[in-house]
Amino acid sequence: MRLSTVLLSSVLMTAINAAPALHTVFVTAFTTVLVDSKGNTIYPSATEAPAPAPTTQAPAPAPEPTTSSQAPAPAPEPTTSSQAPAPAPEPTTSSSSAPAPAETAKPSAQGSSSQPSGSIHHGQGTYYDTGMGACGVVSSDSDYIIAISHTMFDAALTDGNPNHNPLCGKKIRAFYGGNSVDVTIVDRCVGCAEDDLDFSPAAFKQIADPGLGRIDITWQWL
């Protein structure tokens, strides 16, 4: 071992003496390294230090595409209404501009809607048992009929037949105590004054108690 160390030292010294004056040579057991006066290392095969081997980094693996375990939800189908479209509302008009409906006359007990005409007559009302009248009409006590005075009836005659009297079938509205009744002329009353009326029992009861027998009335032609 000692002899080897001496030989190695001898070799090193020989190499140092043989090197240029400006360089210093270090010899190791494996590599010869030249160092200049400034301490820079000189490689024997090149004047520049070898470029370090490029290091490459393995590219990161691209992420695998992830797929959903569930199928995409189908697009909702358009829904249609099972009902027909509601009709457009009809235009409404202001109630203030609409003309007010004409008032209708309140019907009497017989349902007549005619309005009285002419002057108001004042007389007395009675009732009688009905039957065959001067106008040739047979009436019952439940009918709404009257016999007018003989004075008025005879004044309207056009010939000798009383059935042809134009007053037959004409209507009158009679009033008493806030009540009214519409009656039809079918007969002639011998015991009545000019503006008196002789009623059927049903017609008289419509405006007054039959127990009164005779009442003061007013009436008008219809």
CATH number at residue 157: 2.40.40.10
Residue 150 lies in a domain: yes
Instruction: State whether the Cα torsion 175-180-181-183 is positive or negative.
Output: positive
d(Cα 204, Cα 197) in Å, to the nearest integer? 10
Give the pLDDT of residue 55: 54
Predicted pLDDT at 220 = 97
Token pair 């106008």 is found at: 135
Rounded to whole angstroms, the Cα distance separating 149 from 186 reads 11
Q: For residue 186, what is the enclosing H or E element?
A: strand 179-189
Distance CA 45, CA 43 (A): 6
> Residue 115: its pLDDT value, please?
78
Domain around 212: 117-221
* pLDDT for residue 196: 98
- Tokens for 9, please give them: 């030292």
pTM: 0.51
Distance CA 47, CA 191 (A): 170
**Residue 174 domain-assigned (yes or no):** yes
Q: Name beta bridge partners: 8.
A: none
Q: What is the pLDDT of residue 41?
A: 62
Give pLDDT, residue 97. Answer: 39
DSSP 178: T
Nearest partner of 184 among 134, 213, 148, 145, judged by Cα: 145
> Do 215 and 121 reside in the same domain of the chain?
yes
Residue 88 maps to a domain: no
pLDDT score at 81 = 45
List of the chain residues with pLDDT < 70: 1-113
In order, the DSSP letters of 64-94 are PPP--SSPPPPPPPPP--SSPPPPPPPPP--
Which tokens sit at 131? Answer: 């039957």
User: Is residue 215 in a domain?
Assistant: yes
Flag whether 96 is in a domain. Answer: no
Residue 145 included in any domain: yes
Question: Residue 14 domain-assigned?
Answer: yes
Q: How far is residue 106's CA from residue 205's CA, in Å, rounded to a whole number?
A: 19
**Given this model, what pLDDT does residue 24 score?**
47
Compute the CA torsion angle 158, 162, 166, 169 (nearest 10 deg): 180
33 and 122 housed in the same domain:
no
196 in a domain, yes or no? yes
- Predicted pLDDT of residue 180: 97
Q: In total, how many domains does the chain have? A: 2
Look at residue 94 in the predicted model and tell me its pLDDT: 41
How far is 218 from 215, CA to CA, in rounded Å? 10
In the chain, alpha helices (H):
2-18, 150-155, 201-207
